[in-house]
């Protein structure tokens, strides 16, 4: 699914109106109905609902919603905020359409703000995608008092004051919504961790924007949905054998961190790899042979740390490197050898990222379009330097992927996958239970297995990250977020793959 900018959203709007031969008021009515439908399912009738409308089409949506909710036994209080004499045309049409027993209150000064108790519902229809400057002054005051009221706020399309696709300036006030109900597609702002307190829980409601426009519009940012990844999965063939599904090598584990190798290996095996070999220091031999009997284990000459590469390295189809390795000198040398000599696709995680991040020479040796980095935000900063905010991080992600012609899955609540072409895909699965040691090792194993099965690197990132989060979402039902461990995620991989290979409900 594509993510559109505010400008593209306006274009989609205009295209739909022309294509269907409808008016913009008709489209607004669809949006208001879709919002109202969500609202009615969420909040039972009889509630007191205070709706605050700004001067643009977001305010117009608010007026239409007020009319619809008023007709359905909610107690609606309606406020027109600021100077609405130059309000948008569709605002004016919807103001005219209000039933005569629903009289709006004009709010022109802060002192007139109503007292709101904590158990009323507030609908925020002040500003949407048409916001063109930070919200200060009177409007800023209104936003601050709504935030301070403690009432449950539901925002229409955007939390008012939040920029759709760029950094909101410091001085701008922003609504802190409990829910944001957006039209047709999610907005980039919803996917960035820094906006969690403003956006709250977000949902998208369909309003029938032109499918032709959406399929033809160019977008470098996407949101990966179940349909998107289901298209990628290749069913296994009847006459297949283990050789077809790739032979993966994992260079993982160090003294005290052999568990990282166990987790990566188990996840790799649960993700369909044909054969798996692990090269680990001597300290890991018995552990790995016992904990992961399906894998072959090669022992390093070093007892505690990885210090060498397997002799027959060419026979492997993919190499996953990093989890639990440590950053000893001998290990750095082995990683140096790997980058200097191997031409394999690489999945690079944890200490392997740290080692490469510390050396311009190693970065320059990365094989073009053959490396996938799987950093968490701190590891990412070691690669690219300190970042200022989430937009800056995104910019660095694109630049790094383009400069080094590599893929990066930047882990987070919506993991962002950067490609060498400068595209970014945000993942839609996963939950807070994954914020625990070892889940990153699991991702390395999954992505390594998928590359081994000859998925393209982009496909392996999209599918791997999605299925990793989906397994955690399924684990949520059995173990909950607090108790979830990385092993629970592995245990739910079979269900996650089954889920994706079943037809859509
Ligand atoms: N596209 C779709 O699919 C559909 C979109 N729809 C809806 O339309 C919404 C977009 O509407 P929109 O373009 O009229 O903009 P909107 O957010 O109401 O704000 C513009 C007004 O605010 C003002 N203003 C701006 N910044 C300000 C500030 N900081 N402080 C003070 N004032 C400020 C600006 O005034 P001006 O710049 O002229 O001073 C102007 O009056 C969208 O979010 C969705 O809800 C649906 O109805 C149908 C389907
Ligand atoms: K809004």
ipTM of the complex in this document: 0.98
The residue nearest atom 43 of ligand 1, judged by CA position, is: 128
pLDDT of residue 504: 64
The residue nearest atom 31 of ligand 1, judged by CA position, is: 135
Is the shortest distance between the CB of 127 and ligand 1 below 6 Å? Answer: yes
Predicted confidence (pLDDT) per residue in 58-117, tens digit: 999 999 999 999 988 899 999 999 999 999 999 999 999 999 999 999 999 888 899 998
Sequence ranges of the domains in the chain: 6-219, 241-500
Q: Where are the beta strands (DSSP E) in 260-299?
A: 275-280, 296-299
125 CA distance to ligand 2 middle (Å): 4
Q: What topology does CATH give the domain 241-500? A: 3.40.1190
The Cα–Cα gap between 296 and 279 comes to 9
Q: Which ligand is nearest to the CA of 180?
A: 2
Q: If DSSP codes are grouped into helix, strand and coil, which group holds residue 49?
A: strand
- Low-confidence stretches of the chain (pLDDT < 70) are 504-505
The Cα–Cα gap between 61 and 282 comes to 66
Is the shortest distance between the CB of 94 and ligand 1 below 6 Å? Answer: no
Beta bridge partners of 247: 275
Q: Which ligand is nearest to the CA of 10?
A: 1
Taking a 5 Å cut-off on Cβ, the residues next to ion ligand 2 are 58, 124, 155-156, 160
Is the shortest distance between the CB of 439 and ligand 1 below 6 Å? Answer: no
List CB contacts of 3: < 8 A, sequence separation 6 or more: 185, 186, 187, 188, 191, 219, 221, 222, 223, 426
The helix or strand, by DSSP H or E, that contains position 27, with its residue range, turns out to be helix 24-42
131 CA distance to ligand 1 middle (Å): 6
Q: Which ligand is nearest to the CA of 137?
A: 1
A 10 A CB-CB count for 266 gives 23
User: Whose CA is closest to 231, among 503, 493, 505?
Assistant: 503
* Ligand 1 binding pocket mutation candidate from 87, 131, 155 (most atoms within 8 A of CB): 131
122 CA distance to ligand 2 middle (Å): 11
On the CB side of 148, CA atoms within 13 Å amount to 10
pLDDT of residue 112: 85
The encoded tokens of residue 171 equal 């001085």
Q: Which CATH superfamily is domain 6-219 in?
A: YjeF N-terminal domain (3.40.50.10260)
Query: What are the angstrom distances between the C-alpha of 229 and each of 65, 223, 353, 429, 499?
Result: 35, 11, 27, 11, 11
Is the shortest distance between the CB of 31 and ligand 1 below 6 Å? Answer: yes
The Cα–Cα gap between 127 and 57 comes to 8
Antiparallel, parallel or unpaired: β 416-418 and 424-426: antiparallel
pLDDT of residue 250: 98
The Cα–Cα gap between 80 and 104 comes to 7
3 CA distance to ligand 1 middle (Å): 19
């Amino acid at each position: 699914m594509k993510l559109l900018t505010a400008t593209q959203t306006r274009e989609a709007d205009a295209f739909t109106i022309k294509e269907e031969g409808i008016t913009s008021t008709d489209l607004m009515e669809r949006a208001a109905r879709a919002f109202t439908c969500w609202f009615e399912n969420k909040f039972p009738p009889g509630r007191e609902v205070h709706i605050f409308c700004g001067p643009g089409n977001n305010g117009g949506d608010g007026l239409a919603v007020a009319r619809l909710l008023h007709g359905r036994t909610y107690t609606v209080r309606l406020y027109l905020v600021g100077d609405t004499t130059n309000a948008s045309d569709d605002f004016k049409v919807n103001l005219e359409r209000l039933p005569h027993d629903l009289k709006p209150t004009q709010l022109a000064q802060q002192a007139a703000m109503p007292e709101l108790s904590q158990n009323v519902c507030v609908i925020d229809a002040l500003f949407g995608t048409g916001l063109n400057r930070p919200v200060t002054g009177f409007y800023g005051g209104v936003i601050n008092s709504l935030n301070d009221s403690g009432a449950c706020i539901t925002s229409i399309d955007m939390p008012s004051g939040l920029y759709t696709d760029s950094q909101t300036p410091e001085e701008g006030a922003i609504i802190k919504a409990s829910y944001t109900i957006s039209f047709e597609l999610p907005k980039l702002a919803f996917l960035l961790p820094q906006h969690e307190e403003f956006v709250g829980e977000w949902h998208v409601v369909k309003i029938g924007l032109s499918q032709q426009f959406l399929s033809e519009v160019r977008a470098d940012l996407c949101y990966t949905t179940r349909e998107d990844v289901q298209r990628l999965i290749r069913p296994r063939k009847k006459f297949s054998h283990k050789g077809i599904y790739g032979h993966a090598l994992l260079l993982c584990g160090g003294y005290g961190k052999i568990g990282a190798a166990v987790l990566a290996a188990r996840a790799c095996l649960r993700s369909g790899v044909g054969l798996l070999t692990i090269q680990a220091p001597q300290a890991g031999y018995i552990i790995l042979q016992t904990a992961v009997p399906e894998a072959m284990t090669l022992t390093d000459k070093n007892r505690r740390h990885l210090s060498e590469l397997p002799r027959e390295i060419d026979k492997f189809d993919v190499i996953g490197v990093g989890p639990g390795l440590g950053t000893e000198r001998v290990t750095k040398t082995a990683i140096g050898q790997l980058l200097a000599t191997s031409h394999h696709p690489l999945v690079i995680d944890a200490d392997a990222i740290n080692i490469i991040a510390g050396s311009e020479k190693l970065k320059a040796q990365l094989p073009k379009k053959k490396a996938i980095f799987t950093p968490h935000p701190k590891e990412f900063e070691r690669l690219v330097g300190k970042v200022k905010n989430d937009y800056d991080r995104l910019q660095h992600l694109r630049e790094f992927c383009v400069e080094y012609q590599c893929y990066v899955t930047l882990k987070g609540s919506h993991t962002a996958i950067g490609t060498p072409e400068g595209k970014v895909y945000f993942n839609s699965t996963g939950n807070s239970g994954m914020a625990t040691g070892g889940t990153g090792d699991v991702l390395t194993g999954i992505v390594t297995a998928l590359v081994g099965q000859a998925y393209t690197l982009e496909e392996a990132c999209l599918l791997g990250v999605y299925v990793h989060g989906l397994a955690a979402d399924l684990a949520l039902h059995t173990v909950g977020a607090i108790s979830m461990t990385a092993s629970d995620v592995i245990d739910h991989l079979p269900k996650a793959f089954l889920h994706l290979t079943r037809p859509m409900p």
